[in-house]
Amino acid sequence: MDVYKAINSRKTIRDFSHREIKPATLNKIILAGFKAPSNNHLREWHFILLQDRIQRKALLGRIIHPVDRQGAITIVNRWGLTDEKQCTTYIEAIPKQYNMLYTAGALIYPCYLQPTPLLKPRSLSEMNPLVSIWCCIENILVAAAAEGIFGVTRILFEDERRILKKILKIPTKYEVPCHLALGYPASDAKRLPQVEIDINERIHMNSW
């Protein structure tokens, strides 16, 4: 598939069908992740695939506390959000957090080597490992889109990160940037509109 077509078709999906992702397809998509740029050239990335539903349920039950639609509206109001598309996205997304991770064809935990304290960076360079794994994740999302597979990333709250690292036996020096759920979309999967960008307003010639 043409790269622009894959990029333009990639959208966050939180409603998955039951269709399994073939292991060879998943390997191909993750290998595309390894083609992303890496700060120190070494691509110190590992991926935990949590495919066992019983294990998934046990993990998610400990870290995700389901919120219904009314709860989502309360959160959005508390945050004081005003952009209509943004509010719609959050109100749609918040109640789906548990289910999207539980039902996804693949629930992936990217892990990356973080040699310095993650939450106490002293320079932009100390954030390089985190930045690099996100380059990798974007490659994965675009490669997945080229295969008709879509998904969602969810950042880990601090307590989630701690519990998840322990349960999944992730080595101390490795960090997990997000949950990464991938799958074939359900027939009625919501694709929420992106904000519209006028590129001429975003590119500044020679100075801002």
Ligand X SMILES: Cc1cc2nc3c(=O)[nH]c(=O)nc-3n(C[C@H](O)[C@H](O)[C@H](O)COP(=O)(O)O)c2cc1C
Residue ranges binding ligand X (CB under 6 A)? 11-12, 14, 89, 93, 152-155, 194
Question: What minimum distance in Å lies between the beta carbon of 47 and ligand X?
Answer: 17
**Beta carbon nearer to ligand X, 87 or 93:** 93
**Beta carbon nearer to ligand X, 4 or 208:** 4
Question: What minimum distance in Å lies between the beta carbon of 189 and ligand X?
Answer: 11
**Beta carbon nearer to ligand X, 24 or 195:** 195
Question: What minimum distance in Å lies between the beta carbon of 205 and ligand X?
Answer: 27
**Beta carbon nearer to ligand X, 24 or 196:** 196
Q: H/E/C letters for each residue in 86-130?
A: HHHHHHHHHHHHHHHHHHCCEEEEEEEECCCCCCCCCCHHHHHHH
Question: What minimum distance in Å lies between the beta carbon of 178 and ligand X?
Answer: 6
Is 182 within 8 Å of 108 (Cβ atoms)?
yes
First-to-final CA distance of the chain: 35
DSSP 3-state percent helix, strand, coil across the chain (nearest 5): 45, 15, 40
Distance CA 80, CA 99 (A): 26
Question: What minimum distance in Å lies between the beta carbon of 194 and ligand X?
Answer: 5
**Beta carbon nearer to ligand X, 32 or 94:** 94
Which of 61, 72, 78 lies closest to 96, judged by CA? 72
Q: What one-letter code names the amino acid at 149?
A: I
